[in-house]
Structure 1
């Protein structure tokens, strides 16, 4: 099905879970982090090749 990876560790008395490969599959990379009752989804999308003449990172 999906090529997911999941790591669970006990950190400061709470469970920290890091999971990748299940959500936001159109992004180049994703990590779902859960710590206690807090959940954060971090995603990365990048151009496959550099565009000629662009020497900065446009934010728009």
Structure 2
């Protein structure tokens, strides 16, 4: 069930993650590409909100 949430997050941000390598529940951030801090913050906030709703 935990992995389903990861997949849901990846699907939600799929258009903005198009340039990244994605595996089962993981987003690979290559060191040679500058981090998109806004995207990372949005993903973290989205997951925090999902976790709050579960509890």
Question: TM-score scaled by structure 2?
Answer: 0.23
- TM-score, normalised by the number of residues in structure 1: 0.22
Looking at secondary structure, tell me which structure has more strand per residue: 1
**Higher CA-based Rg:** 1
Q: Which has the higher contact order (CA 8 A, sep 6+)?
A: 2
